Amino acid sequence: MSKTIKLRKGLNINLLGEASKVKNAVDQSDMFSIKPPDFHGVTPKMVVKAGDKVKAGDVIFFNKYQEEIKFLSPVSGEIQEIVRGEKRRILEILISADSTIEYTDLGTKNPESMSADEVKSHVLASGLWPFIKMRPCDVIAKPTDVPKAIFISAFDSSPLAPDYDFALHGEDKNFQNGINILKQLTTGKVHLTTNGSGNPDAVFTSATGVEKNTISGKHPVGNVGTQIHHIDPINKGEVVWTVNAQDVVMMGRVFTTGKFDLSKVIALTGSEIINPKYIKTIVGTSVKNILADAINGDNYRVISGNVLTGDKISDNGYLGYYDSQITVIPEGNEPMFSFTKGWLGLGFNKFSVNRTYFSWLTPNKKRKLDTNLNGEIRSFVMTGEMEKVFPFDIYPMHLIKSVMYNDLDEMESLGIYEVAPEDFALCEFVCTSKVDIQDVIRKGLDEVYSECL
């Protein structure tokens, strides 16, 4: 049965630089990258080497410990370099792209006329499995599992997030085909959750074969973890799969066309962008062409993703595999005089979750925030701030501490199976102690995965 949920806890961070609702085109990049660190828990086993020619849809590497999970090239071209780090860990595979993309024929399929095993086999063979993640632990799903449900969030509530209603407009058929694929992979329900504060596009309202829910409130209302917690919570021994709405479209497109087409619409956002906009590009693209003549000033940080959970990249960096957003904000490395812009100033242009600064008088004002932590790392203290922004029936402070001292039994009892690092992004933002909470939770989930699953 469909649910309508309203949340009170959370926090919206209103930033300058929202993308205008216009889709723009840029020249295709000549360099692409697939970064194994984007796939947490995967140990890559290379199939190609530097100098090899590939087509879009050719296997680049597979997971050493789950060989059926394959990772395919998003473009055709030549393997330029395999970049390695410490202990020869593979950091990224650079591909010099052809001007015109050639595709390997993966075969067109109709999921509605296939058995569940046939659909699963084709999803694996087509390199689409990495789009499916599992809870608990927020890693790529195990093909041997049968999830009790699959969740799709139809919106993103993070700062300056892309509007999926706009980005996916006109993709009704591919989205429905993606739904038909996912229906075959579970004996339970496929949940599609839309924003109760908006008017969802036809791509979501016309979808069939799904349980449609609505949820409203402040961020992290758009996080799939929040939606799972309030619609169909995870208990020990249960598995739920999640797929991003843009990835559902790409899955449907591959089945329909037989081409490994990973084109998507991303948002170029942030206060340092001269003209924030939407751009159609391909997963793994270099951001060099996208950022050319688009940035104001020379002291900034480029982030693949949003400001809360994204990764810092260079001006010549690459779009993350799961990211639908590039954000550029000021680098917070300039000294601030205490009596003006520092901690003794009035702070009209600052942002605070409490009434430390006079900015609380204008809560809806969009602000230009930088990367400064505004304080040093200090003792982890109880403040009560996390509970105000964490819309789970979980004690966040207690769970974080149980991870820090590695008590597995306590982690389980406090709800570690229900969360992912992104669910704690706001807790990290409001943390008085400046603790890297998402990293703490990630380590806790890794420990649970290795010891309990």
State the CATH number of the domain containing residue 89.
2.40.50.100
> What is the pLDDT at residue 453?
78
Looking at the domain assignment, is residue 8 inside a domain? no
Number of structural domains in the chain: 2
Say what the pTM is: 0.95
> What is the pLDDT at residue 334?
77
> What is the pLDDT at residue 132?
98
Looking at the domain assignment, is residue 342 inside a domain? no
Looking at the domain assignment, is residue 34 inside a domain? yes
> Residue 391, exposed/middle/buried by CB under 10 A (0-12, 13-18, 19+)?
buried
> What is the pLDDT at residue 74?
98
At 333, list the tokens: 């490395």
Q: How many CB atoms lie within 10 A of CB 110?
A: 11
> What is the pLDDT at residue 360?
73
CA distance 314 to 234: 38
Dihedral (CA of 145, 148, 152, 157) sign: negative
Beta strands in 196-324 (DSSP E): 211-216, 240-242, 263-269, 277-282, 300-304, 311-313
Mark which of 74, 97, 120 sits at the end of a domain. 97
Looking at the domain assignment, is residue 71 inside a domain? yes
Mark which of 52, 71, 97 sits at the end of a domain. 97
> What is the pLDDT at residue 353?
80
Q: How many CB atoms lie within 10 A of CB 297?
A: 11
Looking at the domain assignment, is residue 315 inside a domain? no
Domain range for 70 is: 28-97
Q: How far is CA 186 from CA 119, 254, 270, in A?
A: 11, 20, 39
- Note the residue count of the chain: 453
Mark which of 97, 116, 134 sits at the end of a domain. 97
Looking at the domain assignment, is residue 38 inside a domain? yes
Looking at the domain assignment, is residue 328 inside a domain? no
Q: Which of 164, 245, 152, 251 is nearest to 200 (CA)?
A: 164
Looking at the domain assignment, is residue 395 inside a domain? yes
Tens-binned pLDDT, residue by residue, of the chain (453 aa): 789 999 999 999 999 999 999 999 899 999 999 999 999 999 999 999 999 999 999 999 999 999 999 999 999 999 999 999 999 999 999 999 999 999 999 999 999 999 999 999 999 999 999 999 999 999 999 999 999 999 999 999 999 999 999 999 999 999 999 999 999 999 999 999 999 988 999 999 999 999 999 999 999 999 999 999 999 999 989 999 999 999 999 999 999 999 999 999 999 999 999 999 999 999 999 999 999 999 998 999 999 999 999 999 999 999 999 999 999 999 988 776 655 666 666 666 778 787 777 777 787 889 999 998 877 778 888 888 999 999 999 999 999 999 999 999 999 999 999 999 999 999 999 998 999 999 999 999 999 999 987
378 φ, ψ (degrees, to nearest 5): -140, -175
